[in-house]
Amino acid sequence: MIPLRLTPAYKSHFLLATAAVLSLSVAGCGFIPQDAPNAISVGGNAALRTAPTERVPYVLVPINPDVMRLTNGVTDQYGGSFAKLRGGNYKDVTIAVGDLVQVTVYEAQSGGLFIPKEASVRPGNFVDIPKQQVDQSGNITIPYAGSVKVAGLTARAVSDIVRERIKNRAIDPQVVVAVAEQRGNQISVLGEVNTPVRFPVDPGGIRVTGAVARAGGPKYPSYETKVTIKRGTQVLTESMSGLIRKPNDDVQLAPGDVVYLSREPRVFMTFGSTPSPGSIGGTNNRRFTFENDTMTLAEALAKSGGLDPVRANLTTVYVFRFEPRRLLDSSGYDTKMFPGDVIPTVYWFDWSKPDGMFLADSFQVRDHDQLVVSESPETEILKFLNLTNSATNTAVNINALK
């Protein structure tokens, strides 16, 4: 075989052509396949370009036991609370629009308004007025008493009103009013429950967990389930786990309440010098779900494969999240430069020391926390050397074409 030798002129043309192809490819002219527009294409075709915004300021907080206690305290309260929800008092359940009402009138003797003189041929000294449904105006109609407004009143209060209206015509009347069927004072339990249900309330009342139990319980684990209560214009949400752990949040429900359960798995993300996506049990992403009520930083990093022993910088492990201003103020940080009630915060862990690992095993991760393991300085050097080595090999291969 005759070896290939390039003349100096041909070699010069070859190098120029190679450079031109590379430059055109980088410029996005279609020589290299791509699945989306690149930065040059997006920037070059913009009709209007605005100046970059200022960098978002944040607080860098080296972790210590005191800071960890404060932030874990906020984590325990995270997700809302039903304790401030008031109004579920069942001492006197009132009549509502749509209820079926039963009215019974007693008279002291026959010959009165409701009991005829020949009452001896029939048992008792009372009469049952046919059941009536409370109309949209909140009224029912009683013979000789007329239209009576009953919605919003207790059965006892309605009894007094009817008696007062017929006392001059009946013989010493006594009136008993009862709700035969509740159709207005009902509670609805919907969403991710096994048996959605709508049921009337009892004078004894019912709490949130009792209502969920009537609906067959949640479909999914408590740590993935959110409970929302809608009462009038109020809408409050809390995790099912928090509801179980905090008895004061298991409040009495009120007539008309809607309880809605939704599945909302909590997640955290890992970035930086952790094992490559797909190498951890086939999980081809860096977004992981919680598997219990609480998860510590040590557990979260273990679930995502731990720290890469080759690339990771053990002294700089970070957790990115938003914290309430009051927490940072309590930690002694000057937060006057930050607007709003929540402040971007980065917690810094030193994984190279035993105390850093102990703290990480107590630090509670929150929903949508970002865990970042920075790369070691040596990794940056190796990247540069690999780049220069690649360029050197390319030049050597071209030179071999002489």
Does any domain span residue 41?
Answer: no
Number of domains in the chain: 3
Does any domain span residue 347?
Answer: yes
**Do 274 and 352 share a domain, yes or no?**
yes
**Do 364 and 328 share a domain, yes or no?**
yes
Does any domain span residue 208?
Answer: yes
**Do 136 and 116 share a domain, yes or no?**
yes
**Do 176 and 190 share a domain, yes or no?**
no
Q: Which of 247, 263, 279 is the last residue of a domain?
A: 263
Tokens of 322: 């938003």
Does any domain span residue 18?
Answer: no
Does any domain span residue 107?
Answer: yes
**Do 150 and 202 share a domain, yes or no?**
no
Does any domain span residue 160?
Answer: yes
The strand ranges marked E within 34-173 are 59-62, 100-106, 126-133, 139-142, 146-149
Per-residue pLDDT of the chain (402 residues; tens, 9 = 90+): 444 454 555 455 545 455 454 554 454 455 567 778 888 888 888 888 888 777 888 999 999 999 999 999 888 776 667 887 876 656 567 888 888 999 999 887 776 677 666 655 555 578 888 999 999 999 999 888 899 999 988 889 999 999 999 888 888 889 999 888 888 778 999 999 999 999 888 777 889 999 999 999 999 999 999 999 999 888 999 989 888 888 888 998 988 899 999 999 999 999 988 887 666 655 567 889 998 888 999 999 998 888 888 888 889 999 999 999 999 998 888 888 898 899 999 999 998 888 888 999 999 999 999 999 998 876 666 655 565 666 565 655 665 655
CATH at residue 161: 3.30.1950.10
**Do 170 and 202 share a domain, yes or no?**
no
Does any domain span residue 2?
Answer: no
CATH at residue 244: 3.10.560.10
Q: Domain of 295? A: 59-78+267-381
By three-state DSSP, how is residue 196 classified? Answer: coil
By three-state DSSP, how is residue 230 classified? Answer: strand
Contact status, residue 21 vs residue 31, Cβ threshold 8 Å: yes
